Each structure stands twice: as C-alpha cells, then as structure tokens.
C-alpha cells in the first residue's frame, strides 16, 4: 500500500513505500527523505533511502530471540488490512456490511475455466514420484515444461535448458533464497520505489538483507520523458549514497511490469540497467510476474530473457499467478546459466520446494 503526500505538505512527492517501510527508514536522517524535484529555496535532498528493519523492534518476550521478535512484529499496513479483511469478509447475502478487500491483487475472472479443467477425471491420476522426495530443483518433467513455456513466451533467442530452471513455491521463497546466498547479513539490494512492499520481508526475515530505495518522482524533470521514470543516473546516486553510509550493495531488483506503477521497461532501458549493474558487479533480479498481462500494442512487453546479449549475472523471477487466475497455486522459477548459485541453493530450497505438483499429463 502506497500513499502520495500532498505537494504543499513539504514532504517528498514520491511514495517511500508502505507504512512499515517508512518507519524502517526513519532512523537514518536527512538521507532518507529524498525527492526528485524541489523548490529553489529548499535544501538539497538525497534520492535514496536505506532500510533498517531492526530499528523499530526490540525483544519483548523471554521466549523469543531478538530475531524472533522482529519476525513476530514485522508486518505492514497491507498485511494488517488483509488480516482485518478475513475477520469480516464481505458477502452480498450473509455479510453485506463486511469489508471489501481492494489491497490484494487476485484474478477471479478465470474460475470457470480452472474449475472445469481441475474437475476432469484425468486430474485424479497419481504417480509414484509425486509421493517421494523430488529433485531439490523440482521434478524434471515440470522443469522441462517451464523451460518450454518461458522460451516461447519470453522469446528467448536460445531455448532455456531444464537444468537451469529451479522451481519453488512462490516468489517469496525465491527472493528469500537469493538474498541469503548472494548477500552477507546487513548487505543490501537496490530497488526502485514505490515497489511491491512484501519484498522487504522476503529478503530480510531469513537473509537479514536490507533494501536501498531508489526514489522515483511523479514530475518529469531533466532528461526524463515520463513520470516515475527510472534512470541510470538515479541508480548511480542511490548506490553512491548507500556506499557513503557504509552499506554494501550486492544487487538490483527490478519489477517488470512495475508493481504498483504498471510501467513497462523497454529493451533499451533494460540493457542500460544491466550495463549499470555490470559496471558495479551487481546481480540483477527481475520479477516478471505480470509479463502475460495485456498491453497496448504501442507499449508491448519484452522479457529480460529476450535480450540478445545477456552476459550480466541475472535471475529472472516470476510465477504464473495472480495474472493467470490462481493466486494460491504459485511457482517461483529461476533460470540461470549453470552458475555457482545452484549449489548453495541446494542447501536452502528443500525448505521452500514445490513437492506436490500436477502429474505429467496435466501440463
């Protein structure tokens, strides 16, 4: 959930993220109140913010570690609203005065199609392999189908190989595993803000990894051509600011199409971001969960996997939901060029692997 302060309030014109994120940034001084444009008489403000999830919490239970206390209380306004909603859900007949949830993206348009398919007799088939421990990367037949699916829809110049596909139970597990194996505790990822707020939890709760927000502005200034435009200049400033505060940045997280703004990065922009990351030896994680949404023909969509030259260490991350109509049936996938990431993942992915999957004939 994001809020945009009024222009005359003297606060930044861009959202700093969810309520919890604003609180996380609150103990870091002027550097956390950046905005991309200002009045001439205002003091220059930085364009980044370094999150510190432990700043708000202290251990309040003799039975919990300090880390356990952070996990206990680490939830933002969106999660609070979600909990409240489930205690008083709206129903046209049974509870007409209940709560309608506008804070969670769920595609309910395909229920008739999914219900019809999942009710067919062949869905009841059970294979022995589904009752046994699978390969930690996911069942081979599933990874083969995912590789074919992505090669086609991402328009990859070369077909993806199943051995470079890892299947997890959603992007939360994927981001958590990536944060843990790529970063030391206390290190950080760059991320354009506003952004999907749950990523803060995904990278912190297990990996103790922070986010450095690259604040985007609603006004078009300088060389920008549209509101909330991400530029390499803004990335450079955020990286420099984090370094000046002693925070080591290990990677860049991109959401394409962007959530919540809906912006779509062009191939040229993606290439610029990858070149920036290569210069600074940063990993790039691209969340493409909405890549199969409908776009105007003039905009189009290009996956990072469609780029001709993809020599930057990058991990496209995505899941076939909620855009494909089943929010609770989620896969996280991470194609990679056989890099060293796959081995340390093997020690973690059994915690978040997808063990119950459709039989081979269902895909």
Q: Phi first, then psi: give them for residue 68, nearest 5 degrees.
A: -65, -35
- What pLDDT, in 10s, does the model give residues 115-126? 999 899 888 888
- Average pLDDT of span 246-261: 94
Tell me which residue of 66, 70, 104, 71 sits closest to 85, measured CA to CA.
104
pLDDT band at residue 188 using 50, 70 and 90 as cut-offs = very high
Tokens of 172: 């939360």
Structural domains in the chain?
132-362 (3.40.640.10)
Indicate the angle between helix axes 267-279 and 232-244, nearest 10 degrees: 30
With a threshold of 0.85, does the pTM exceed it? no
Residue 91 pLDDT > 90, yes or no? Answer: yes
Residue 27 has pLDDT above 70, yes or no: no
User: How many residues are listed for the chain in this entry?
Assistant: 363
For 180-194, what is the mean pLDDT?
94
- Predicted local distance difference test score (pLDDT) of residue 310: 58
Long-range CB contacts (within 8 A, 24+) of 123-128: 123/358, 123/362, 125/359, 125/361, 125/362, 126/359, 127/359, 127/360
pLDDT at 89: 96
Structure tokens at 281: 């030896």
Q: Tell me: the pLDDT tens digits for 254-305?
A: 999 999 998 999 999 999 999 999 999 999 999 988 888 867 777 788 888 8
Q: What is the pLDDT of residue 356?
A: 44
- pLDDT per residue as tens digits for the range 33-42: 333 333 434 4
Residue 360 burial class via C-beta count within 10 angstroms: exposed 0-12, middle 13-18, buried 19 and up: middle
Determine the Cα–Cα distance for residues 359 and 363; give it in Å rounded to an integer: 8
Q: Which residues contact 306 (CB under 8 A, 6 or more apart)?
A: 154, 155, 156, 157, 267
Please give the average per-residue pLDDT across 215-225, as a whole number. Answer: 84
Mean pLDDT taken over the chain = 75
Q: Which helix (H) or strand (E) holds 188?
A: strand 188-193
Question: 90 or 74, which is more confident?
Answer: 90
């Amino acid at each position: 959930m994001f809020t945009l302060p009024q222009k005359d309030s003297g606060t930044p014109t861009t959202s700093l993220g969810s309520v919890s994120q604003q609180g996380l940034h609150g103990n870091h001084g002027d550097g956390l109140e950046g905005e991309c444009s200002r009045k001439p008489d205002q003091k220059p403000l930085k364009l980044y913010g370094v999150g510190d999830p432990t700043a708000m919490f202290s251990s309040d239970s003799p039975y919990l570690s300090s880390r356990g206390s952070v996990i206990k209380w680490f939830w933002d306004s969106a999660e609070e609203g979600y909990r409240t909603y489930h205690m008083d859900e709206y129903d046209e007949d049974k509870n007409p005065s209940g709560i309608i949830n506008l804070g969670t993206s769920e595609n309910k348009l395909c229920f008739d199609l999914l219900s019809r398919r999942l009710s067919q007799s062949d869905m009841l088939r059970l294979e022995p392999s589904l009752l046994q421990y699978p390969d930690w990367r996911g069942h081979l037949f599933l990874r083969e189908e995912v590789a074919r699916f992505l090669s086609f829809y991402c328009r990859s110049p070369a077909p993806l190989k199943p051995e470079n596909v890892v299947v997890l139970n959603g992007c939360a597990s994927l981001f958590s595993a990536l944060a843990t194996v790529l970063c030391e505790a206390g290190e950080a990822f760059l991320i354009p803000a506003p952004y999907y707020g749950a990523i803060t939890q995904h990278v912190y709760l297990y990996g103790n990894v922070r986010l450095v927000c690259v604040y985007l502005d609603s006004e078009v200034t300088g060389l920008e051509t549209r509101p909330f435009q991400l530029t390499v200049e803004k990335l450079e400033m955020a990286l420099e600011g984090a370094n000046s505060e002693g925070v080591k940045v290990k990677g860049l997280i991109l959401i394409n199409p962007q959530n919540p703004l809906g912006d779509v990065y062009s191939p040229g922009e993606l290439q610029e971001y990858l070149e920036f990351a290569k210069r600074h030896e940063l990993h790039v994680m691209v969340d493409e969960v909405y890549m199969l949404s409908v776009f105007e023909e003039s905009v189009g969509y290009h996956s990072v996997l469609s780029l001709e030259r993809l020599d930057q260490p990058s991990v496209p991350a995505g899941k076939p939901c909620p855009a494909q109509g089943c929010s609770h049936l989620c896969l996280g996938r991470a194609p990679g060029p056989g890099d060293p990431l796959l081995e340390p993942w093997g020690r973690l992915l059994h915690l978040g692997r997808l063990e119950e999957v459709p039989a081979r004939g269902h895909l």
